[in-house]
Amino acid sequence: MASSTRRGVSRALYDEIRARIADGTYAVGTALPSTRALALERGVSRATASLVHEQLAADGLVETRAGAATRVLALPDRPGRVSAGMAPFPGGRSAFAARVERLAIQSASAGDEDEFDFVYGPLSGRDFPTSAWLQALRAVEHRRPVRLAYEDPRGNLELRRALQAHLSRSRGLSCAVEQLMIVNGSQQALDLCARLLVDAGGTVVVEDPGYRMAHHVFEAHGARLKAVGIDDQGLSIADLERIREARMLYVTPTHQFPLGSFLPVGRRRSVLDWAVARRAWVVEDDYDSEYRYAVRPEPALYSLDPHGCVIHVGTFSKTLSPQLRLGYLIVPAPLVDTFAAAKRLMDRHAATGVQRALAVLLEDGSYDRHVRRIRRVQHARQRALLDALERHLGSKVRVQGAASGLHLVAWFPEVPSDDEPAFVDAALRLGVRVHPISPLFLPGGHAVARTRPAGLVMGYALLEPEAIDEGVRRLAQAVRAVSGGRRRGRG
């Protein structure tokens, strides 16, 4: 009986590891847990663990060598994934899940290393302040607290104090430490705003074109979006005034995404007047205000707000790394407890180690020095892109939104918006990955989306000046190919 039981245990463990090899959990070349570790982890004898390794080796799935780790050698032969052919489980899903599925949000795909990728969002790993960051991490690890416990859901107090001082210096923002909340990137900040301030069916006013990941958050929570057009000074106040009822306005006033316009102070005050009259919250996304090249800083909406209707959102994703997942909110005082309770329910708090390291960078001046350096670097890349567009395309391109930020919009008058997909494909065949502006317009939005020429949102934070020039040279070839093909088609 004991022998039969042992065979049953070893067979179950064998089947489990084989399945993990099949689904990629243990990829080819990966070391399996040692027989000693496997026995301790699963509460079986080491003889049973050894039997499992031996059977996997006999089936040609792993390679065992004396004195070396057992490594995955090949994937098992199988007709398909474990789930293939299985009927879907008939369990129900929430209305939230159904809305998320309808949005069909695509994961961002990384370009090939040999491509010239003008993507917006990622930063170059070369620009990260590695030395300062490692020193900060070592410093906080040497001050390991006696008690390892959950923190305040609003975030580490040292970081919030340092951030309060930094925002006062750099942005003229004045707030209490209690109003600051550290979040896992600005995306979580927007999710909190949607959860806590908008009911399903409520109206959220958004810019068109605009930041679609923000729009998707609101849509996933059941909000109805109303679009407001953008002109060369940002959000159209005339469009905004026509909206009589709303729960929230989401706006990017310092550097409108994606068109790059800057909302002047008169319009900022009009936005606040509109919000107060309609009892609507304003979410101000200050996503890349560190990068100002040809505009003077204006007071943030939050600083102009005497009524307490503005929630200010910021991020360190554009200065340090999006992989750190560090952002922040400034929440009006009456909402502080509500946001803190919701944050506690979601994930307790952001990771403490990186919060404490960032606090060190802010306190000792390393972060400010890094921002000054990276601003010069990004400005040089932007100038390289502007010069390359002028040199290789001249009158065939019109640039918008180059006064600040980490991207600009390039319009191509000879290429209609309908030809954007063909334009993008032509560039990709030449080794250039570009990103069309069309997906940033709301479906069924403003007529300008249908009458405009083709446009690209061109980020430059990943590329050095030489690569930028070569990428634009090839892009010019794609413009000629697409516009020439259209002329031949008409002929």
User: What is the per-residue pLDDT across 380-432, written as a single tens digit (0 to 9) for each?
Assistant: 999 999 999 999 999 999 999 998 899 999 999 999 999 999 999 999 999 99
Give residue-wise pLDDT tens across range 190-222. Answer: 999 999 999 999 999 999 999 999 999 999 999
What are the tens digits of pLDDT across the range 218-235? 999 999 999 999 999 999
What pLDDT, in 10s, does the model give residues 56-78?
888 888 888 777 888 888 777 65
Q: What are phi and psi of 326, to 5 degrees?
A: -125, 120
Answer with the residue of higher pLDDT: 375 or 8: 375
Structural domains of the chain, with CATH:
2-72 (1.10.10.10), 116-124+370-490 (3.90.1150.10), 128-364 (3.40.640.10)
User: Which of 55-64, 199-208, 301-310, 368-377 has the weakest average pLDDT?
Assistant: 55-64
CA distance 386 to 108: 26
pLDDT, mean of residues 295-314? 91
306 has pLDDT over 90: yes
Q: What is the pLDDT of residue 1?
A: 47
Output the pLDDT for position 489. Answer: 54
Q: What is the mean pLDDT of residues 70-97?
A: 71
Positions of E strands within 82-220 = 116-117, 180-183, 203-208
Q: What is the pLDDT of residue 488?
A: 53
What does pTM read for this prediction? 0.85
Question: Residue-wise over 282-299: b if at least 16 C-beta within 10 A, else e?
Answer: bbbbbbbbbbbeeeeebe
- CA–CA dist 63, 58 (Å, integer): 9
What phi and psi values does residue 257 have, to the nearest 5 degrees?
A: -100, 125
Percent of residues, the chain, with pLDDT higher than 70: 92
Q: Among all chains, which residue has been given the structure tokens 């939104």? A: 401
Q: What is the mean pLDDT of residues 347-364?
A: 96
From 55-64, 239-248, 282-291, the region with the lowest mean pLDDT: 55-64
pLDDT at 77: 65
Share above pLDDT 90 across residues of the chain, in percent, rounded to a whole number = 69
- DSSP 8-state assignment for residue 61: S
* Cα–Cα distance, 215 to 250 (Å, whole number): 9
Model confidence pLDDT, tens digit, residues 35-52: 888 888 888 888 888 888
Residue-wise pLDDT for 170-197, tens only, equals: 999 999 999 999 999 999 999 999 999 9
